[in-house]
Copies of this chain bind each other. A is one copy, B any other.
Amino acid sequence: MSIREEVEAANRIAVERMMDSEPVWNNIGLARKLIPGMKDMMLLHAGPPVDWKNASGPLKGALIGACLYEGWASSDSEAESLLSSGRVTFEPCHHHNSVGPMAGVISPSMPVYQMEDKSGNKAFSNLNEGIGRVLRYGAYGSDVLSRLKWLSTTFFEVLSLALKELKREKPGLQFKQIIAQALTMGDDCHNRYNAATSLFIREMVPYMIRCGVEKKILLEVYDFINGNNFTTLNLGMATAKVMTMAAHSVKYSTIVTTMARNGTETGIRVSGLGEEWFTSPAPRVNGLWFPGFSAEDANPDIGDSAITETAGFGGFAMAAAPAIISWVGGTSAKAMQITERMYRITFTKNKYFLIPSLDFSGTPTGVDIRKVVKTGITPEINTGVAHKNPGIGQIGAGLVIFPMGMFENALRSFGRTYGLV
């Protein structure tokens, strides 16, 4: 086989494994118990590695909030000194088979969803807090901390019981199917999860009713889920993570298996290139701003949520979700163009994620670093935007085009690794 054929064959294996992964949600538990390598006084965060000095404002805010939430510090300045001294360590979620939206901070006593596929791979994500002033956008006020507390007690208990009830009937909740259905119902499953959350509710209600929890508590949890269409974002991200794990470590493969941003840098990892990160400075987001904010206030692009595009949905399925494009300031023609353009840098059309408005074409799936470099087209995604200062929260949403440098570096590294240069 020529090297070109080797790569094609490897990419086929990687992308087929990714598409055929059948993630099920089959556990919810504390991060310290479920996430591999999670230690006391350790935090996880979105994107590639970063140190305290270079951490972006919203990431700092979320790390501070997590120290307060864990009781490691009783003020933000105390938390800062813990974090800057290295007594509290922090590592990328992706180093622990995990993903978190925006700042993506996960601390040991936060509950996390576990998504497992038939290969036995397990991926994890934290719980969704809703929108506005929330930890993942860098806010850490008492409102934020008490919501996190409620999520880790009441919400966690009810969802645990409901999932236990569900598992009396089946191995778990098949989440790829929910995403596939939601894409036919106007979701992109990155920034619009209205349909996915509806479908999740439809599935879970019987188990929530049967699980034996008191009516008042049940209704409290139901109202929170029903009031937050981002409830399923984290489940969707964990689904994408376990799918992309299936595609990783295929020798010769040029398929991207991680795309993630920490607010300072954007990074990718590639199937055939092990655990190495290739990074570029995080780009600015072309956004629409909430009243009172402007581009000046915006932190550069942040979050692990680009795992959705890595797995073939989210922004790549924008044509399926014309409603999202208006939310980030575009037209439906632009939504179509983005999806069409992403076909040029991906390996194939997804077998399972279909776009009705493109006569059920599959979504662009499997970013190939060769195609990115050759075409000059980088992945384009949609995202929320955090204030650049810690402690504030979300200030808008928009579209972001990934930087080219990291793809070029990855391709050069590929050449060296496989003796092509």
Contacts and interface: CB of A to CB of B under 8 A. Distances in A.
A357 interface: yes
A273 to B, nearest CB: 39
Given A210-B215, A322-B356, A332-B359, A205 B198 contact: no
Category for how many chain A residues contact B: 20 to 34
Contacts of A205: 201, 205, 222, 226
A186 B317 CA distance: 14
Contacts of A331: 359
Q: Which of A186, A321, A322 has the most CB of B within 10 A?
A: A186
Copies per complex of this chain: 2
Contacts of A373: none
A187 B184 CA distance: 9
A5 interface: no
A72 interface: no
A185 B195 CA distance: 7
Contact of A219 (B206, B215, B223, B357): B206
A358 interface: yes
Contacts of A198: 185, 195, 198-199, 201-202
A187 to B, nearest CB: 8
A356 B323 contact: yes
Contacts of A199: 198
Interface in A307-358: 321-323, 326, 331-333, 356-358
Nearest to A325: B356
A209 interface: yes
A204 to B, nearest CB: 10
Given A185-B185, A201-B201, A332-B359, A222 B195 contact: no
Contacts of A201: 198, 201-202, 205
Given A202-B198, A226-B202, A356 B326 contact: yes
A185 B199 CA distance: 12
A361 to B, nearest CB: 10
B206 A326 contact: no
A50 interface: no
Contacts of A357: 322, 332, 357
A186 B183 CA distance: 9
Interface string A213-255: 0010011001100100000000000000000000000000000
A5 to B, nearest CB: 36
A194 interface: yes
A418 interface: no
A360 interface: yes
A326 B202 CA distance: 25
Identify which of A199, A205, A326, A333 gathers the most chain B CB atoms within 10 Å of its CB: A205
Contacts of A194: 185
B202 A209 contact: no
A321 B322 CA distance: 12
Given A194-B185, A326-B360, A359-B332, A219 B226 contact: no
Contacts of A218: 209
A223 to B, nearest CB: 7
